[in-house]
């Protein structure tokens, strides 16, 4: 019995060990195409009896043992069954002989993944565009077979070739979807190809330009977008100019209008792309500060609407300079000069000009227009004793440029000499000195006139101005109505003034005779106004004044003893017999919203108001003129022609609204002198 058990143990020891799973290194995946994978037998006994391994892809290895690894590379992705075939029985081993029935082959499944890819650039190629394909992680990158899907094949071209190896460039002639295949392993067709789907679109070509609304001679920058040959494009600008250039180009249109600009690739294999551009008229010009200037005096020149930062100036006297949009220049010689300017510091070939006349000093001058006035704009004035800054002014325009000399004569005696330069065409003002001013110490009437002494051939006689110096130093300041006020005959205004120091009561004088009121003649009546600084004439007083002619008024202040302590200046006004009727019907803002009009007063926050009305005149006349004044400033003038008696005429005007304002509608008959025949007033409030 013991002998039987021993034999059995020896027999078991002599059997080969049972096959375990085939050993793989690395022991776990993932595994990829082209990766070196190691295989060996798991049994020690294979060291004595090597087996045969089949990798499942048609290739195998012999002499597989447990001691040594076998290396294998899969060339295509997939699932492969790897089998290990043990040696046949009986087998003569190195140490012993084994007999019996061999065990079945051992097997395992291995999954080989794809890590190769094809990159495409650009991602969305178009017809005619060079498209680059790059083989990534290929095992024979210098020897790849490329099939481009349109019948084109690139065969095993080396890395030195511009189209070979792992990078290939291809241009498709037609739009569509193409399957691109790349064969690894020296371009073998026995392995699975790596593929990519590429969609070839039609090229989205366009022409872009800036600025969107250019003007004549302005640089316009064009760009051909998505063109296939951007370095060689045929441009046609629609104005007769053709040019072969790159995708970016600048052009200047020399005439306004709409142009069609087209561009086509240099191969001329694709239809042209076009766009429309509208060129606006030229708006640049230059201005000079004065058409005539004096030699050695600066003249200012301005480039209007120029586009560049710098302007190339030529002043016509040999001087050229680069400067800003506004420059000054001084001429050392007389004459007529043409100033020219070119935009963009001369890059623009278009030239803009202006003419300036430079005059020297000579004695060939003549008076064109001349007048003298006192500082209130009139030829008379009433001032208190020791009044300050009273002056007279000469305003004149000359023909010719030269020195004008003369003297002011006060009360028949030379008072002040002057020697001034007068430039042709310029309005020249010459005043008597302000400090000390004209004589105001002696009460009474004073006269002032002017005598020109150079050029001596000038025979100009100036009127005599008069100012009356009161025997007291205070002056009553008049308030309303303003000077040259016009009132309707039956609408008697209120006359007002400011209170005077030391005054207990006031008196008012009205007269249609300037001499009587200016000199306070004994027959000039004065009307008691009481203690308040205002007075409304009674109808008898008002009716004594002449109609449609200037009348005059002034005020004097009396103390408690009845002595005159102050007096006012003289103001003019006119009472007219209105033969025309002016009616204001409607007032709106500029948005058309109606504004309430009641009792001749309008309240609105708008800066401008639209006034509508009508008028009637009591006779036939060729012309009527309506003048609209806002706070004494004329803002509009309307002319009515061939006016028929009592026929209603409509009018409309816009007036500014600056706050608390007074609008006067004054209708004049155009005789000589013009006669006011109608009045209407409107008050504007916020």
**CATH no., domain 117-200:** 2.60.40.10
Per residue in 207-220, pLDDT tens?
Answer: 999 999 999 999 99
Q: What pLDDT does 12 receive?
A: 36
| CATH T-level fold of 580-685 | Coagulation Factor XIII; Chain A, domain 1 (2.70.50)
DSSP tag of 547:
B
Domain 2-113 has CATH 2.60.40.10: yes
Q: How far apart are CA 602 and CA 684, in angstroms?
A: 5
pLDDT digit string, tens, across residues 612-653: 999 999 888 888 999 999 888 888 999 998 999 899 999 999
Domain ranges, ordered by start, for the chain: 2-113, 117-200, 206-279, 285-359, 366-469, 474-576, 580-685
- As assigned by CATH, the class of the 206-279 domain is mainly beta
In CATH, the number for domain 285-359 is 2.60.40.10
Task: Tell me what pLDDT residue 292 has.
Answer: 82
CATH of domain 366-469: 2.60.40.10
pTM over 0.75: no
Asked if residues 338 and 316 have their Cβ atoms less than 8 Å apart, the reply is: yes
pLDDT for residue 459: 73
Q: What are 661's two structure tokens? A: 């304002």
Q: Which two structure tokens, joined as six digits, stand for 235?
A: 């441009």
N-terminal to C-terminal alpha carbon distance within the chain = 138
What pLDDT is recorded for position 352? 95
Q: Which fold has domain 474-576?
A: Immunoglobulin-like (2.60.40)
pLDDT for 20 equals 47
**3-state secondary structure at position 184:** helix
Residue-wise pLDDT for 413-448, tens only, equals 999 999 888 877 778 899 998 777 888 888 888 999
**Which regions of the chain are under pLDDT 70?**
1-21, 88-103, 156-165, 268-269, 362-364, 456-458, 670-674
The phi and psi torsions of 561 (rounded to 5 degrees) equal -90, 0
The yes-or-no answer to whether 2-113 and 366-469 have a common fold is yes
Four-point Cα dihedral 570, 573, 575, 576, nearest 10: 150
């Amino acid at each position: 019995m013991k002998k039987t058990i021993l034999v059995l143990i020896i027999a078991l020891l002599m059997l080969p060990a049972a096959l375990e799973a085939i050993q793989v290194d690395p022991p776990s995946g993932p595994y990829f195409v082209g990766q070196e994978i190691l295989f060996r037998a798991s049994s020690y006994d294979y060291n004595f009896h090597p087996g045969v391994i089949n990798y499942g892809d048609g290739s195998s290895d012999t002499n597989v043992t447990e001691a040594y690894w076998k290396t294998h590379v899969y060339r295509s992705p997939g699932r492969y069954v790897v089998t290990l075939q043990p040696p046949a029985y009986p087998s003569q081993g190195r140490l012993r002989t084994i007999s019996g029935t061999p065990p079945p082959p051992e097997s395992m499944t291995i999954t080989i993944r794809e890590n190769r890819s094809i990159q495409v650039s650009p991602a969305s190629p178009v017809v005619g565009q060079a498209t680059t394909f790059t083989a990534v992680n290929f095992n024979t990158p210098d020897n790849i077979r490329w099939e481009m899907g349109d019948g084109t094949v690139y065969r095993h071209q080396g890395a030195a070739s511009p189209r070979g190896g792992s990078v290939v460039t291809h241009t498709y002639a037609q739009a569509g979807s193409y399957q691109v295949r790349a064969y690894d392993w020296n371009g073998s067709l026995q392995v699975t190809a790596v593929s990519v789907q590429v969609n070839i679109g039609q090229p989205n070509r366009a022409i872009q330009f800036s600025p969107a609304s250019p003007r004549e001679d302005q640089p316009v920058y064009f760009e051909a977008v998505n063109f296939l040959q951007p370095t060689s494009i045929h441009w046609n600008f629609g104005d007769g100019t053709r040019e072969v250039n790159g995708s970016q180009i600048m052009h200047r249109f020399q005439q306004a209008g709409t142009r069609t600009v087209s561009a086509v690739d240099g191969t001329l294999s694709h239809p042209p792309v076009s766009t429309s551009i509208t060129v606006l008229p030229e708006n640049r010009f230059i201005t000079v500060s004065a058409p005539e200037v004096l030699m050695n005096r600066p003249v200012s020149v301005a480039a209007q609407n120029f586009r560049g930062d710098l302007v190339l100036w030529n002043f016509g006297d040999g001087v050229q300079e680069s400067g800003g949009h506004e420059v000054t220049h001084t001429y050392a010689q007389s004459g007529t000069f043409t100033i020219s300017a070119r935009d963009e510091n001369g890059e623009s070939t278009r030239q803009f000009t202006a003419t300036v006349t430079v005059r020297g000093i000579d004695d060939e001058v003549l008076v064109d227009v001349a007048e003298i006035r006192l500082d209130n704009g009139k030829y008379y004035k009433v001032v208190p004793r020791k009044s300050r800054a009273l002056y007279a002014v000469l305003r004149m325009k000359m023909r010719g440029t030269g020195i004008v000399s003369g003297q002011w004569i006060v009360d028949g005696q030379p008072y002040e000499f002057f020697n001034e330069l007068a430039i042709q065409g310029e309005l020249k003002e010459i005043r008597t000195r302000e400090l000390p001013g004209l004589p105001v110490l002696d009460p009474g009437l004073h006269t002032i006139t002017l005598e020109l002494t150079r050029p001596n051939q000038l025979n100009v006689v100036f009127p005599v101005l008069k100012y009356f110096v009161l025997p007291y130093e205070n002056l009553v300041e008049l308030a309303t109505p303003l000077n040259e006020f016009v009132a309707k005959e039956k609408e008697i205004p209120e006359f007002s003034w400011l209170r005077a120091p030391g005054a207990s009561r006031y008196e008012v004088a009205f007269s249609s005779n300037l001499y009587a009121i200016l000199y306070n003649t004994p027959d000039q009546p004065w009307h008691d106004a009481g203690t308040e600084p205002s007075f409304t004439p009674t109808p008898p007083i008002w009716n004594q004044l002449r109609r449609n002619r200037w009348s005059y008024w002034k005020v004097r202040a009396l103390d408690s003893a009845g002595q005159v302590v102050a007096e006012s200046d003289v103001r003019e006004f006119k009472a007219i017999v209105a033969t025309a009727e002016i009616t204001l019907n409607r007032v709106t803002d500029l948005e058309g919203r109606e504004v309430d009009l009641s009792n001749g007063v309008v309240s609105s926050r708008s800066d401008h108001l639209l006034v509508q009305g009508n008028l009637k005149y009591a006779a036939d006349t060729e012309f009527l003129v309506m003048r609209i004044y806002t706070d004494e400033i004329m803002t509009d003038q309307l002319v009515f022609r061939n006016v028929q008696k009592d026929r209603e005429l409509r009018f409309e005007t816009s007036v500014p609204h600056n706050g608390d304002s007074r609008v006067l509608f004054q209708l004049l008959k155009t005789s000589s002198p013009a006669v006011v025949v109608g009045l209407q007033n409107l008050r504007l409030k916020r």
